[in-house]
Amino acid sequence: MSAAWLPRLNGGASRRIFVLLALLLAVLLAAPWIVNDYLLTVLIVILYSAFTGQAWNIMMGFAGQLSLGHALYAGLGAYMAAVLFVDFGIGPWIGFLAAVPVAAACGAVIGFLAFRFGVAGVYFAILTIAFAEFVRIGFDHIAAVNASAGLFLPVRQVAHNDVWHLRGDPAMFYYVILAATVVAFILCRLLLESRLGYFWRAIREDEEAARAAGVPTFRCKMYAVMISAALTSFAGVFYAFFYNNLFPEQVFNIGRSIEMILGPVIGGTGTLFGPILGAFVLTGLAETLNSIMGAFGLGMPGATQVFYGVCLLVVIVVLPEGVWPPLARRLGLTKEWP
Amino acid sequence: MTALLSLQQLSKRFRGLVAVDGVSFEVQQGEIFAVIGANGAGKTTLFNMIAGALKPDHGSIVFDGKPIQDLSPDVVCRRGIARTFQLVRPFPALSVEDNVVVGALLHRHGVGEARARAQALLRRFDLFDRRHHPASALTLPDRKRLEVVRALATEPKLLLLDEVVAGLRPTEVDRLVAVLRELNRDSGLTILMIEHVMRAVMALAGRVLVLDHGVAIAAGTPDQVVRDPAVVQSYLGAEAV
Question: What is the CATH number for A178?
Answer: 1.10.3470
3-state secondary structure at position A285 = helix
Establish if A130 belongs to a structural domain: yes
Establish if A217 belongs to a structural domain: yes
- Tell me the ipTM for this assembly: 0.91
pLDDT tens digits, one per residue of A75-108: 999 999 999 998 898 889 999 999 999 999 999 9
Q: Is B73 on the interface with A (CB under 8 A)?
A: yes
Structural domain for A11, as ranges: 2-254
pLDDT of residue A159: 73
Task: Please tell me the distance in Å from A234's CA to the nearest CA on chain B.
Answer: 29
Fold that domain B3-93+156-240 belongs to in CATH: Rossmann fold (3.40.50)
pLDDT tens digits, one per residue of A151-166: 888 877 777 788 888 8
Contact A336 B95 (CB under 8 A): yes
Establish if A268 belongs to a structural domain: no
Establish if A323 belongs to a structural domain: no
Structural domain total, chain A: 1
pLDDT of residue B37: 87
Establish if A27 belongs to a structural domain: yes
Ranges under pLDDT 50 in chain B: 241
pTM for this prediction: 0.90
Please report, for chain B, the start and end positions of each structural domain, with discontinuous segments joined by +: 3-93+156-240
pLDDT of residue A294: 81
pLDDT of residue A1: 40
Confidence of residue A71 (pLDDT cuts 50, 70, 90): very high
pLDDT at A129 over 90: yes
Helix axis angle for B140-153 and B96-104, nearest 10°, is 20
Chain A from 208 to 237: CB within 8 A of any B CB: 208-217
* B contacts of A194 (beta carbons < 8 Å): 111
pLDDT of residue A153: 85
Q: Is B160 on the interface with A (CB under 8 A)?
A: no
pLDDT mean over A14-35: 87
pLDDT at A297 over 60: yes
pLDDT of residue B238: 54
- Can you spell out the DSSP letters for chain B? --EEEEEEEEEEEETTEEEEEEEEEEEETT-EEEEEE-TTSSHHHHHHHHTTSS--SEEEEEETTEE-TTS-HHHHHHHTEEE--SS----TTSBHHHHHHHHHTTS---HHHHHHHHHHHHHHTT-GGGTTSBGGGS-HHHHHHHHHHHHHHT--SEEEEESTTTT--HHHHHHHHHHHHHHHHHH--EEEEE-S-HHHHHHH-SEEEEEETTEEEEEE-HHHHHH-HHHIIIII-GGG-
pLDDT of residue A101: 96
Establish if A94 belongs to a structural domain: yes
pLDDT of residue A337: 42
Structure-model confidence comparison of residues A319 and B233, the more confident one:
A319
Facing A201 at nearest CB: one of B51, B94, B114? B94
